């Protein structure tokens, strides 16, 4: 059985800050082919679809489509604010390797 991804409180809090300035939209986390390691994350504000997994916290939503879900099983979606920049990050136990920037991975 695959465990759904988890979203940290910090990620939900940052999404709330982003949505505070306008229309509240879910954060979509998807996996697509490409990138320097074979797969890449697609993270953007979007609308929820009927077949999406919806993760809720702090009045916010993160959505994952059914095709991406197996690649994100057991992953943690977080927000990092570091010297090199602030961004949503994914700690993915399914990834056997990833690129230096953390946006692409291989299985």
Q: Render pLDDT for 3-54 as a digit per residue (tens, 0 to 9).
A: 899 999 999 999 999 999 878 999 999 988 765 557 888 999 999 999 999 9
Distance CA 61, CA 53 (A): 10
Determine the Cα–Cα distance for residues 17 and 3; give it in Å rounded to an integer: 28
The Cα–Cα gap between 32 and 43 comes to 11
Predicted TM-score (pTM) of this structure: 0.84
Query: What sections of the chain are H helices per DSSP?
Result: 9-19
Residue 42 Cα distances to 1, 58, 59, angstroms: 24, 22, 22
pLDDT tops 90 at residue 104: no
Residue 105, pLDDT > 90, answer no
HSE-up (13 A, CA, CB side) for residue 60: 21
**Distance between CA atoms of 41 and 78, rounded to whole angstroms?**
13
Tell me which DSSP letter residue 37 carries.
Answer: T
Q: Per-residue pLDDT tens for 40-93?
A: 889 999 999 999 999 999 999 999 999 999 989 999 999 998 877 888 989 988
How many angstroms separate the CA atoms of 36 and 2, rounded? 26
């Amino acid at each position: 059985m695959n465990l759904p991804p988890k979203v940290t409180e910090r990620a939900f809090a940052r999404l709330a800050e982003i949505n505070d300035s306008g229309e509240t939209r879910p954060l979509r986390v998807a996996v697509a082919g490409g990138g320097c390691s074979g797969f890449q994350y697609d993270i953007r504000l979007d609308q929820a679809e009927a077949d999406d997994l919806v993760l809720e916290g702090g009045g916010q939503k993160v959505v994952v489509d059914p095709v991406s879900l197996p690649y994100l099983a057991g992953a943690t979606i977080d927000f990092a604010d570091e010297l090199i920049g602030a961004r949503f990050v994914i700690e993915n136990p399914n990834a056997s390797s990833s690129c230096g920037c953390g946006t692409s991975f291989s299985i």
